[in-house]
Amino acid sequence: MTAQTLDATLLQVGSLFDEQDTTYTIPIYQRNYAWRVEQIEQLISDIRDAKADGHDSYFLGNLIVTRRGAKGLDYEVIDGQQRLTTLYLILTVLHSAGTSVANGYRDRLRYQSRPRSTEALRRLTAGLSKHAGIAPESSHEEDQGIHEGFNVVRQFIDQNVGTSERAEFADYLLRKVFVVRAVLPAKTDLNRYFEVMNTRGQQLQQVDIVKARLMSLLDSDDAQEAFAWVWDACADMDSYVQMALTRGDTARREQLFGTDWAWLKVETFDDLANAHRQRGRGGADDKATSSDQMDIERALLKYATTGAPAVTDDVENVRFRSTIEFPVFLLHVLKVWRRVDDADDGGLDDKKLIERYASAFDRDSMNADELRLRVREFAVLMLRCRNIFDAFILKRQFTAATIDEGDWSLQRLIKGKTSPGKNTPSPRYIDLAQSPATEREEDGGADGATRDLLLIQSMLRVTYTSPRTMHWMTKVLRTVLDAEPRGPLQAEKLLGVLRDYARAKVRAELTEDGEPKSGFDIARIVFTYVDLLLVCKSPDPEFRFSYRNSIEHFYPRSPDAEQSGDAVSKDCLNMFGNLALVSATANSKFNNSLPKAKAENFRTTIEIQSPKLGRMAAITREATWNDAKVREHHKAMVELLREDLRFGREA
């Protein structure tokens, strides 16, 4: 290898730390460990799914490093530290579970000039070996992000990788999951490297290839340009589609979505193509004959050279953020179209996007005319589903009052009034079930029907965090699409559909006699649904469902020896009555404190995450927390579930 040659090695995860004296150092200019629930759970899910699907290997990505000093196996991590740290945490959890993961990885990952991060890793690996898999209490002098990441990894594996499966999972991770470690030449200008990495052209993704292949099935430039126009508007997931499709063109907006701009009025692809021609993009002179059908190469070239629509000053539209990405939305549309089984998580796996669409538009089983008709029909369905998605599926909304983290929002777009100094009206966003004639303050509370629907959707969203498990979104699209007339009057019907869906999910996680399981075997939906029932029973306009993935023992498994109070026996420790669902951050803060300390110190912060936890804390403040209180609370929560499920219909 010369001084200017890139040294790239394909390594099993099991070999990543196994070379003698191999160490990885995160330099000071890198950010702290920042992966949270969604990224961590997605990585573990991808590995687990690759194993379940029988793949002989799974490529996890690249690790870009450079050598530190003269020591050959001492590496500085340039790119990939989030993935590397997560792997370290996974290995730590699996080692503590007694799998084939040896402890050779220990102390091989360090943080330059960041002793708190290094100490957090050291205490995790050292503490687990002493406490039978229970993470040591974190210190405020350590990196809380690493402790939170560890809690996410541990609980996700506890809940999703059965005890009998962990040995096989660990073996697959060590031997079948691969990483490319690329060592940059010693004299690489890192400033130049980062500049190139940040400005390089974007590689075509699966969604781009699907778009090009569908375009290639159409028989004219005119049709292809109309399809690309609709596709690009639907791909802008953070804008309402009425705005994305007709930026700066209110006349076209009324033509497509009616005088109130609310719902798609056109029924055919020809209507869309005609509206596109009237925009001045494409026309009769540009048409190709049917014999000039594009092949995939020409379609890719045409797509690659198509400019994005100009961005206007629709400032009202930048305050919303979709809860899923466009590739996942496309899979929901495909499920609606094909009416496939909601239980198939693979149907929402964006890694299989090309495969799913190749099956739906199979060139071997259909002729050119059939394929062309299917693409045209699909374009209309995709646009209609985006219109429904924007109005009937929750978003994150950022206003003056919620600018930092946003808030759940369930609003639809209608035509507003013409603002002073403007010649055209602006969009107006109102609650889904709200009458357009009703005025409401921007940051005011949602109307009752909208709030009920928003509560259950946000409950489902924080329960099923992986995009491939969000089948409830398909139900929303299908329910509204099949309804007549389409509009906000369907909100009440949709609420019933989603309640039945959630009830079926809860029933599937209870024992035959209607009892929750024990400890980490209790599914997330059981906790979040109980919280939903409690909020519905005692409405709290301030309550918001937030992302919570950590099962908290209210009376801890390793109680703080310096605190005093009643004890809870092993028989009650893992009962549903002693458990609540909190965020990983909250779990780290709760530590091993006794219930009395938790109830007194966290009533305005962590306690508000869960109405169930709020009840437990209130009981403790009024009396104490012991076996009798655990059983009493357990019975009350189980009865609450049984009362609801007894009268619920099957989904």
> What is the structure's pLDDT at 99?
86
- At residue 134, the pLDDT reads 47
Instruction: Kindly tell me the number of DSSP H helices and DSSP E strands found in the chain.
Output: 25, 13
* pLDDT bracket for residue 377 (50, 70, 90): very high
Q: What mean pLDDT comes out for the span 171-198?
A: 79
pLDDT tens digits for 162-177? 888 999 999 999 999 9
Whether the per-residue pLDDT at 97 is higher than 90: the answer is no
Taking CB atoms within 8 Å and a gap of at least 24, the contacts of 443-452 are 443/399, 443/400, 443/401, 443/402, 445/541, 446/410, 449/491, 449/492, 449/495, 450/410, 450/491, 451/541, 452/495, 452/536
Structure tokens at 300: 């890719």
For 30, 120, 122, 143, 414, the CA distances from 116, given in Å and listed in that order, are 15, 6, 10, 5, 51
Return the pLDDT at 427.
92
pLDDT reported for residue 307: 45
* 3-class DSSP assignment, residue 59: strand
Out of 182-191, 454-463, 517-526, 599-608, least confident range: 182-191
Separation CA 285–CA 67 (nearest Å): 60
Give the per-residue pLDDT at 433.
86
The DSSP call for residue 30 is S
Q: Which residue has the higher pLDDT, 646 or 334?
A: 334
**pLDDT band at residue 282 under the 50/70/90 scheme:** very low
Q: What is the pLDDT of residue 555?
A: 94
The confidence score (pLDDT) of residue 647 equals 47
Please state the rounded mean pLDDT for residues 311-338.
80
Least confident span in 12-26, 41-55, 182-196, 574-588: 182-196
> What share of the chain has pLDDT > 70, as a percent?
80
What local confidence, expressed as pLDDT, does residue 123 receive?
A: 78
- Please tell me the distance from the alpha carbon of residue 223 to that of residue 6, in angstroms, as a whole number: 46
Taking Cα atoms as reference points, which of 157, 20, 161 lies closest to residue 86?
A: 157
Alpha-carbon torsion angle 614, 616, 622, 627, nearest 10: 180
* CA separation, residue 571 to residues 39, 335, 567, 575 (Å): 35, 45, 12, 8
What is the pLDDT averaged over residues 592-602?
87
- Per-residue pLDDT, averaged over 24-52, amounts to 87
- Whether 131 has a pLDDT exceeding 60, the answer reads no
Question: Hey, what are 598's tokens?
Answer: 């938790």
pLDDT classification of 541: cutoffs 50, 70, 90? confident
Q: Is the pLDDT of residue 310 over 50?
A: no
pLDDT digits (tens, 9 = 90+) for 40-91: 998 999 999 889 888 899 999 889 998 887 666 889 898 899 999 999 999 9
Q: What integer is the mean pLDDT of 117-122? A: 81
pLDDT > 80? residue 563: no
Mean pLDDT for 400-426 is 80
Residue percentage of the chain with pLDDT more than 90: 48
Residue 221 pLDDT > 60, yes or no? yes
Give all strands (DSSP E) within 356-418, no chain letters.
395-397, 407-409, 411-418
pTM: 0.79
What is the CB neighbour count within 10 angstroms for residue 405? 9
Q: Among 147-156, 260-269, 350-359, 397-406, whose mean pLDDT is lowest? A: 397-406
Is residue 181 over pLDDT 50? yes
The pLDDT confidence band at residue 318, using thresholds 50, 70 and 90, is: low
CA separation for the pair 9, 115 (Å, rounded): 30
Do 618 and 601 form a contact (C-beta atoms < 8 A)?
no
CA distance 225 to 462: 38
Cis peptide before 485 (omega within 30 of 0): yes
Which of 78, 111, 83 has the alpha carbon at shortest distance from 192? Answer: 78
Half-sphere exposure of residue 206, counting CA atoms within 13 Å on the CB side? 16
In the predicted model, what is the mean pLDDT of the chain?
83
pLDDT confidence tier of residue 315, bands split at 50, 70 and 90: very low
Closest CA to 383 of 476, 257, 557, 507: 257
Task: Label the pairing between strands 177-183 and 58-67.
Answer: parallel
Per-residue confidence (pLDDT) for residue 194, from 0 to 100: 61
Q: Please say if the pLDDT value at position 500 is more than 50.
A: yes
Which residue carries 């700066």 as its tokens? 248
Q: Would you state the structure tokens that stand for residue 67, as one six-digit string?
A: 């050598």
Confidence of residue 506 (pLDDT cuts 50, 70, 90): very high
Asked which of 112-116, 531-535, 554-558 is least confident by mean pLDDT, the reply is: 112-116
SS (H, E, C) 604-632: CCHHHHCHHHHHHHHHHHHCCCCHHHHHH
Which of 227-241, 277-291, 476-490: highest mean pLDDT? 227-241
